[in-house]
Amino acid sequence: MKVILKETVESLGKAGDTLKVADGYARNFLIPKGFALEASSRNVKALDHERRLILQRAEKERLKAVTTASRLSGVICTIERRVGEQEKLFGSVGTKDIEKALQDQQIEIDRKSILLPEAIKTLGEFPVKIKLAAGVTAEITVVVTPEA
């Protein structure tokens, strides 16, 4: 039986692939679980239409991410922290603090998209990457200064 995969099945193929599988496998597993559709002409047309919609949506999101990345290039976030002896911070600067500093500059970024390998524990300037979409990243500068 010919089927069209709706989702990626690890041992079989990626979503959108048209495959020939055993009748029982298709009828008893793939179709009832929602992993596949029978490859009729109607289902092929519906899948093509759905694929076009998904590609258009992904392109819109990518363009939005590119414009946000261009807005973010050159942004400098200044975060003030209490400092002890030898200029060591009390605590550290994490993604939550960077998110708040960006919000203070009217830039809405989800903190899960801020790529910070480890918390910042010293004073200085640090480059921080922000992942906006698949393949689109921006880099901002985070400046940690002592509290006045």
Residue 115 bridge partners (DSSP) = 129
Determine the pLDDT at residue 99.
Answer: 94
* Separation between Cα atoms, residue 7 and residue 25, nearest integer Å: 16
Write out pLDDT tens, residues 12-24. Answer: 888 778 899 999 9
Averaged pLDDT for residues 77-86: 88
Residue 3 bridge partners (DSSP) = 19, 38
Tell me the DSSP string of 114-144.
EE-SS-EEESEEEEEEEEEETTEEEEEEEEE
Write out pLDDT tens, residues 108-139. Answer: 888 899 999 999 988 999 999 999 887 889 99
Beta strands 76-81 and 114-115, pairing class: unpaired
Tell me the DSSP string of 32-97.
HHTSEEE--HHHHHHHHHHHHHHHHHHHHHHHHHHHHHHHHTT-EEEEEE-B-GGGEEEEEE-HHH
Full-model pTM: 0.64
Domains of the chain: 2-63 (3.40.5.10), 69-146 (3.10.430.100)
